[in-house]
Amino acid sequence: PAARPLAGRRIVMTSGPTHEPIDPVRYIANRSSGRQGHAIAAALARLGAEVTLVSGPVTIPDPQGVKVIHVERAEEMRDAVLAALPADAAVMVAAVADWRVASQAGQKIKKQEGEGPAPLHLTENPDILKTVGHHPLRPRLVVGFAAETQDVEENGRAKLARKGADLIVANDVSPETGIMGGTRNRVKIISRDGIDDWPDLAKDEVAARLAALIAERLQGSGA
C-alpha cells in the first residue's frame, strides 16, 4: 500500500467536549480531553488526508498538519461540520453535550437568599453524527464513537443503525478504566460485518490503526 493512501481525501472530524453556557460565567461540560480525537486527526493527516478538525474546548495543542476550527457549543460544532461537507469521510469523536440550557441568562445568575436554587431548564442539542449520517451530502464513510459505562457492544450496535454510521468505535469509559482523560484506550470496532475487539493500546496506537482501517475502507470504493 502507498505511504500516503489518503492523499486527496477530505475528512471532517470532531473532537473534545462541548461547553454549553448557563450564564456568562458558568457552563455544562464533560471530562473529554480530546486526546483520542486529536490523535486520530494527526494519524489521518500523516496518511495524506486533508483533515478539518472541529474541536471543542481542550487544553492540548492542535494536531500537526490539520485544519482546526475551534468551537464551544454543540450548535457551533454542528454548523462547522456541515460547512466542511462534502467530504470522503466523517469521524465524529467529540463528546457532545446531549443537552444545553434552554435560554442562556444574559447576566450571571444570582443566589437568592431564602429562595433556593434557580431551576435549569434543558433542551436537546443537535446530534451531529446522526445529522451527518442521514445528510444528502453524507460522506461515503461515517465513523462514530460510543462511550458507554455498560452494555458496550449492544449499545454500539444500536448506535450504528440509529446514527446512520458505518463504523462505531465503542469503549468502556467507566471511571475505573481511566480511559476518559487518560492516555490509553481499549476499543471494539463495530460494523455490519461484526465486532473486532482491539487490545489495550496507547491512544496514539488506536489512532494509527483506525486511520489505517479508514484508508482501507476508502480504497476501492471509487474516486
Binding site for ligand C5P (CB under 6 A): 14, 74, 92-94, 96, 125-129, 144-146, 159
Q: Name the binding residues.
A: 98, 108, 126-129, 145, 159, 163
Is 53 in contact with 41 (CB distance < 8 Å)?
yes
Instruction: Report the C-alpha gap between 172 and 117 in whole angstroms.
Output: 34
Closest by Cα among 211, 203, 208 to 167:
211
Beta carbon nearer to ligand C5P, 49 or 160: 160
CB atoms within 10 A of CB 62: 15
> Facing residues of 201 across strands?
185
Q: Provide the minimum distance between the beta carbon of 175 and ligand C5P in the complex, in angstroms, as a whole number.
A: 17
Residues assigned a catalytic role: 30
Q: Provide the minimum distance between the beta carbon of 159 and ligand C5P in the complex, in angstroms, as a whole number.
A: 6
Beta carbon nearer to ligand C5P, 104 or 131: 131
Q: Which residue shows C-alpha cell 433556593? A: 116
What is the identity of the amino acid at 3? A
Beta carbon nearer to ligand C5P, 111 or 192: 192
Close Cβ partners of 79 (under 8 Å, ≥ 6 residues apart):
none
Is 176 in contact with 152 (CB distance < 8 Å)?
no
